[in-house]
Amino acid sequence: MALFLTLWTVFLLALMHFSTCKSTESSDYLVFPIESLNTFIRSNEQCLDIEWTVNPHAYTLNLKMIFQIDIRRTTFSNIVENKNYTTTLIPNETLQWCWHSALPLECTSHLVRIRSMVDDERFPEFKFWSSWSSWWKSEGKDSSGQYHIFPVDKIYVEEDSNVTFCCISRTDNEKVDFSYEERYSQRTKLSPRTTMFEVNNVSFVRRGGSNAFCKFNSDNSNIQGVVVYITGVIEEPKNFSCQTRDLQTLNCTWDPGRDTFFPEKFIPTNYSLFEWFSQKKVNCVHRNWCTWQLTSDIQDMYNFTLTAENEVRKRRVDILFNVTQQVQPQLVGEISIKHVSETEATLKWKIIPNQKRLSFLCQIEVYHDGKVIQYNTSRSQFTLRELQPYTAYSTQVRCCTANHFWKWSEWKSKNFTTKEDVPSGALDVWRIVEPVSMGYNVKIFWKPLPTFQANGKIQNYIIVMKTLGEVHREDIFFSESDSNSTEKIIDQQSYEISVAAFNSVGSSTPSVIVVSGDTENSAQNITEERVNGTNDGIYLSWKPDPAKAEGYIVDWCNYPQDAVCDFQWRKFGPNTTSAIIRSAAFQPGVRYNFRIYGLSTKHEAYLLEKKTGYTQELALDCKPIVTVENLASTSLTLNWKDNCIDEPQYGFFNGYHIYMKSEVGGSCDQETEKQNFSDNIIVCKYTVPDTKQKTFNVKKLQPKSTYNFEVKAYTGGGDSLGSFIKVTTGTPENSNLIMTILFPMAFFSLLLIIGLNLKIQWVKEKCFPDIPDPYKSSVLSLMKFKGNIHQATLNTSDCIPDAIEVVNKSEISKMQGSRTLLMGNEITKPAYLYLLPTGKDALDSQTCICFENFTYRQDASDSDSSRQIQMIPTDPTRSVGPAEHLLNAEKDYIGSLDNIPAGEASLNYVSQLAPTGAISGDKGSTSSNLEAAPCSEYKMQMVMSTGLALSLLPEDDRPISVTSLDQLEKPC
């Protein structure tokens, strides 16, 4: 068992060794290392050409292989390019690949190595990289021992691209400065002698190019430079297309795009066409088009590549098309006109290319009288029908391919005229009849036939006049072709007039009108009516003819003021009763006269209405001169003179406008029209509708005011010129009378005032006496006061009332509820009432005058109802004295007062009497026995109710003397 295991192990080891050896041999068989490697520099393209070979057995098998290429600069730099290049080996062909370097290849040495691998589908299991080849070195100029700058001389680059320069010095580590249009450049040290500079996003500066310099050792003598030409980027050609006109030459066009900044002689852009089916190439001479000759054998499909290239870039664009679908036909020669008649004409034309290979669609357009008619045909000839005789036509033809539309051919044009024919239709005829001695002068007018009715050149007109009475007579005469009227004098008979036009073929249908003397005589009494113009013309309307006319005719003159008035007319149907008459000859300010006729079935015309009007009225060319008469304070009369008349050159003279403006402002009355202007000026306008009126009365003016007046003649077109007149109204007529009356009255009033001022004291004493001052009263001289006279108080027993007046008043509010007696300190302002005796005998030796009056002659109702009266009691030690007889003397009278309701009477102070002895100087009075009474102060009287006053008196008080109002003597 152990021996078997040993043998089995040896067998497996041997088998494994055999398998390894076989695999190695197979692997070596399908791996083809690089046998030879070589490089060289193409400086003009900055291309490093790399060439290499492998074992010839690989070429024999036509293997598809991948070659991996490494490139680096100098010995110690990193790899700058790692490229996989795939190709199928072809016997006797050297493998080649070009590497384009951003850095000029001369700046430094480049090292290249390559390895390979079979990538053939026939041997999918054997994909092994071969070993790398040795580094192949391509020497640069950095070892030349000379100063260099690369690129050299001049270079061409596109704008916005990056440019790399290198400066090579003689020795290692020399100082190098670089300059390019004063721009910063990134510096990179490639080797001890080579320095690289990168300029990014270069832009166009000038057509002469930009300069780049290398300065070595800061010595200006060691300068190396290069000129850089910046060109625009070549754009890809746009709208590339090809077409043929004759299936022999192909014309290709394109849009080259924007300019590249440089003339073609400096940096030419070359265009070429390459056709893939025939493998032919044509260099194009022009920048945007090129021609290609089609082959004689039939080839419909073409595949073109258009290439645009210059020193720095190449652009391509492709197109594939069928040449028979891109054909633009041509019409050769002129269009011919055959078989022209009055209403038909045949057109013929020739078209290329040959119609045997292609079918075409042609379009025909016919122009006449501003209108166009289109026809289509697939043939090279066409007959036009339904044409007008003796009419000029213009026609044009173009064609295109029928199966596949590409482009129309150019238009080919031709003019022709159809032949003449007999005139169609009838002339439009009208007349003017003017009475003359023993008959009428008839002017006959007609309008030339339009071209489509004349059907040829009109040679003359024939006029036939035939009587309709018992005696038949016929006159025939002719008129030239350029004439449109004639005239004839006829008698009183009715005539039938016919007019016809002749050309070389025949005559038109005669137009007939009848002239009757009766109808002309009956039109004399028709009045003329005014009509209004519109923006388009003059609007006319008329009443329908009760005789049911066959139609209506309106005639007028375009130039009514000229000798040749250009007579015009228009005909309307029987159902038309209005129209707007338009004419290019109508002008503003010209009056046009219209006559409206009815036309009977017998071709007899009779006048219905007359109209007159303007398209636009203008103001009259006149200027009224104004004068003023009868000038008064509130009215005046305006008179004016003028030469304004109803002239047909301006408008209908309708009257006058009178404008009035007040210099002090004011309003307008109802008879005027108020006009407000932007400067707040108010103008009043009077209208005088009578053109013959030359005077006007203006009323309701303000006296002594200035007015401006202006008179203007007016039409529907506005006012004429006018002249201003300024008028100032007078003073009122009764002002002198008023002054005559007022002045004396004012004078005497002044004298009266002066006299009263001189006697003011006397007037005051008589009419307005002063209220006596108790302090200054002579009564005080009869009394002896204790202490200060101003502090003395008069007791009630010391004062005897003179009189109390009781006045009945129904409106006085009742005071019965106010009889409550407030005593002591309950009244803030106590009111005192002192009653004096009447009569001279009632005054004793101790009497004094003292009273308080809150209001003078004021009704009790006006005083505060809440006011309460406090009676100061008399001294109980004093005797009443001789005044007691007063109560008995007045008892009857006071009794009568009890019948007066409370609140219906009032008390008024009447007078104040000094003591009898003091006033009259009675010698019998004993003034020396009088004691000074406490009343030393004069106070206002107070009004109080009669009932209240009586109720306040105690039984032992002094009597009150009451007198009637009639018994009082009032002051002046």
Is the alpha carbon torsion for 952, 954, 955, 957 positive or negative? negative
Orientation angle between helical segments 735-758 and 760-767, nearest 10 degrees: 80
Mean pLDDT over the full length of the chain: 77
β-bridge mates for residue 399, sequence order: 362
Question: What is the pTM for the complete model shown?
Answer: 0.49
Q: Phi and psi for 234 in degrees, rounded to 5? A: -65, 125
Residue 570 corresponds to which tokens in the numbers above? 């228009």
What is the spatial distance between Cα 423 and Cα 462, in angstroms, rounded to a whole number?
14
What is the spatial distance between Cα 373 and Cα 347, in angstroms, rounded to a whole number?
15
Res 740: pLDDT: 72
Q: Which region among 160-174, 294-308, 412-426, 517-531 has the lowest average model confidence (pLDDT)?
A: 517-531
What is the spatial distance between Cα 698 and Cα 711, in angstroms, rounded to a whole number?
13
Is-contact 603 513, C-beta < 8 A?
Answer: yes
Q: Which residue has 């009857």 as its token pair?
A: 892
The fraction of the chain above a pLDDT of 90, given in percent, is: 36
Is-contact 424 506, C-beta < 8 A?
Answer: no
Res 403: pLDDT: 87
What are 231-287's pLDDT values in tens digits? 877 888 999 999 999 888 999 999 988 766 665 555 678 899 999 998 999 999 998
Is-contact 267 308, C-beta < 8 A?
Answer: no
CA 760 from chain center: how many Å? 82
H or E element at residue 306 = strand 301-309
Is-contact 714 686, C-beta < 8 A?
Answer: no
What is the spatial distance between Cα 73 and Cα 79, in angstroms, rounded to a whole number?
7
CA atoms within 13 A on the CB side of 749: 6
Long-range contacts: 819-822, Cβ < 8 Å, 24+?
A: 819/902, 819/947, 819/948, 819/951, 820/868, 821/868, 821/869, 821/870, 821/871, 821/952, 822/868, 822/870
Q: Is the pLDDT of residue 102 over 50?
A: yes
What are 309-357's pLDDT values in tens digits? 887 788 899 999 999 899 999 999 999 998 899 999 999 999 998 767 7
Q: Is the pLDDT of residue 524 over 50?
A: yes
Alpha carbon dihedral 481, 483, 489, 492, in 10-degree steps, equals 80
Is-contact 650 617, C-beta < 8 A?
Answer: yes
The fraction of the chain above a pLDDT of 70, given in percent, is: 72
Confidence category of residue 122, pLDDT binned at 50, 70, 90: confident
Res 153: pLDDT: 79
Report the 10 Å Cβ neighbour count for 397: 24
What are 186-205's pLDDT values in tens digits? 888 888 889 989 888 888 88
Q: Is the pLDDT of residue 902 over 60?
A: no
Is-contact 444 477, C-beta < 8 A?
Answer: no
Confidence category of residue 493, pLDDT binned at 50, 70, 90: confident
Which amino acid, 876? P
What are 428-475's pLDDT values in tens digits? 999 999 888 888 899 999 999 988 889 999 999 999 999 987 778 888
Q: Could you give all domains of the chain from N- to C-terminal order, each with its CATH number?
A: 34-138 (2.60.40.10), 148-231 (2.60.40.10), 238-322 (2.60.40.10), 330-417 (2.60.40.10), 428-614 (2.60.40.10), 625-729 (2.60.40.10)
625-629 β-sheet, strand order? 625-629, 636-641, 695-698
Report the 10 Å Cβ neighbour count for 54: 21
Secondary structure class of 2 (helix, strand, coil): helix
E strands within 119-255? 136-138, 148-150, 154-158, 163-168, 176-180, 186-189, 194-199, 210-216, 219-231, 238-244, 249-255
The DSSP line for 440-488 is EEEEEEEEPPPHHHH-S---EEEEEEEE-SSS--EEEEEEETT--EEEE
Task: Calculate the alpha carbon distances from 925 to 671, 782, 786, 795, 850 in Å.
Answer: 92, 10, 22, 21, 20
